[in-house]
Amino acid sequence: MYRQISHQREDRIFYADHETRLCRIRLIGNEKGLCGLLLDTGTGRRSFAVFDDWIQNTDFFSGAARQLSEYFEGKRKIFDIKLNPRGTDFQKRVWKELRRIPHGETRTYKEIARAVGNEKASRAVGMASGRNPVPVIIPCHRVIGSSGHLTGFAHGLAVKERLLRLENSGTPYTAWEEQAARRNRTSDFETRRPKQKTEKGPACND
Residue 130 DSSP class:
H
Residue 16's nearest CA partner among 27, 1, 4, 30 is 27
Residues with Cβ < 8 Å from 114, sequence gap 6 or more? Answer: none
Give the β-pairing of 143-144 and 189-193. Answer: unpaired
Give the whole-angstrom CA distance, residue 126 versus residue 93: 13
Phi, psi of 188 (to 5 degrees): -90, -10
Give the whole-angstrom CA distance, residue 73 versus residue 92: 28
Give the whole-angstrom CA distance, residue 89 versus residue 99: 16
Do 61 and 14 touch, CB atoms closer than 8 A?
A: yes
Question: Coil, strand, or helix at residue 136?
Answer: coil
| Catalytic residue check, 204 | no
Per-residue CA distances from 93 to 86, 120, 138 (Å)? 12, 15, 12
The residue annotated as part of the active site, out of 23, 35, 140, 204, is 140
Q: Which residues are catalytic?
A: 140
